[in-house]
Amino acid sequence: MTQGSYVADKSSSGGEFNRDTSYITTRITSRTRGAEGGAAGGHYPVEAGRYRLVVARACPWANRAIIVRRLLGLEDALSIGFCGPTHDARSWTFDLDPDGLDPVLRIPRLQDAYFARDPNYPKGITVPAVVDVPTGAVVTNDFAQMTLDFSTEWTEFHRDGAPQLYPEPLRDEIDTVARRIYTEVNNGVYRCGFAGSQEAYDAAYDRLFTALDWLSERLATQRYLVGDTITEADVRLFTTLARFDPVYHGHFKCNRSKLAEMPVLWAYARDLFQTPGFGDTIDFVQIKQHYYIVHADINPTRIVPKGPELANWLTPHGRESLGGRPFGDGTPPGPTRESERVPPGHGAG
């Protein structure tokens, strides 16, 4: 099932969910690092205006890229295209755009960009994906490396006051924390939701909440996951937490506790949500539409629930008492561009 996209993830013979983690690993790097290449593992040069980031607001993995691009101020250098919240067995589609075509790439389906890269592309059509506009071909869909490269390779185009999301002195710790977040939380909710046996589900459930308890303990005495500023690790956790009560608690059976019933994580999530660049990227309507409509094997009626109440995301969180500097020596991003704003009524306001 999905990795925020159509991808061939399957349950093993024991019913455990296994994610397909083989991505197009081509990177976009600074001009001093590597020559342009087209093969997986090669390099393309960082160039303003050359690439288009294709995302879906519903997808937690794509949401990371939306947040990092906004925090770093890459809007002028890297355009963005939004797929709709649902997809069929073939591909994400640009059904939000006039005539169902991406206005820059002029394609109706993201798979067209994958096939421009490889006409026999055998894997899932995933978001986020960075597309080379001149050729119309996908450069990379390696979501984990993508945001790290935004921080480290695109520095020439960062806004004044851009935060250090992947500071070199903290990278080992960020990587360690992010690795556990990915395996146990980001992917852990999917492991619960797509378990193919009671035994696999029970094991996945225990792993998920063990990790959430560990995160609660870590965050009880510090405002952010690593150091005293927002880092890549916080971005990676936030996108799962934002979807926890609307989707994962019920739809994926992650129901020991709602996020709103886990005091430390709930305060931490609200703190980030109320920070420019985080909550203003969250479209709760599209998030619910994606999971409840696309996952017909879990929700065969495809009925999208009306709840939960969302105004509580804007209530005081009290995390300022722990200190910390959200953007370090930098500054918050400015207002979201009008063309990229979450539609009215789709957020928590």
Q: How many residues does the chain have?
A: 349
> Is 92 annotated as belonging to a binding site?
yes
- Which one is catalytic: 44, 190, 205, 224? 190
User: What residue type is assigned to position 214 of the chain?
Assistant: W
User: In the numeric block, which tokens belong to residue 48?
Assistant: 């303003």
Give me the residues paired with residue 6 across strands. 125
**DSSP category for residue 272:** H
- Which one is catalytic: 6, 23, 44, 59? 59
Q: Is 190 a catalytic residue?
A: yes
**Cis peptide bond N-terminal to 308, omega within 30:** yes
User: What residue type is assigned to position 49 of the chain?
Assistant: G
**Cis peptide bond N-terminal to 128, omega within 30:** yes
Backbone phi, psi, residue 147, to 5°: -70, -30
Those residues whose C-beta lies under 8 Å from the C-beta of residue 315, and which sit 6 or more positions away, are 270
Q: What are the residue ranges of helices labelled H in 274-313? A: 284-289
Q: Shortest CA distance to 83 belongs to which of 66, 102, 68, 105? A: 102
Q: Please, what sign has the CA dihedral across residues 71, 57, 12, 199?
A: positive
> Is residue 11 within a helix (H) or strand (E), and if so which, with residue range?
strand 10-11
User: What residue type is assigned to position 38 of the chain?
Assistant: G
Q: Is 83 a catalytic residue?
A: no
For residues 71 and 162, the answer to whether their CB atoms sit within 8 Å is: yes
User: What residue type is assigned to position 207 of the chain?
Assistant: R
Instruction: Say if strands 51-56 and 79-83 run parallel, antiparallel, or are unpaired.
Output: parallel
Whole-number Å distance between alpha carbons of 241 and 243: 5
The gap from C-alpha 331 to its chain's centroid, in whole angstroms, comes to: 22
Q: At what angle do helices 232-243 and 263-273 cross, to 10 degrees?
A: 110
Numbered residues of the known binding site: 92
Numbered residues of the known binding site for glutathione: 92
**Which residues are part of the catalytic machinery?**
59, 190
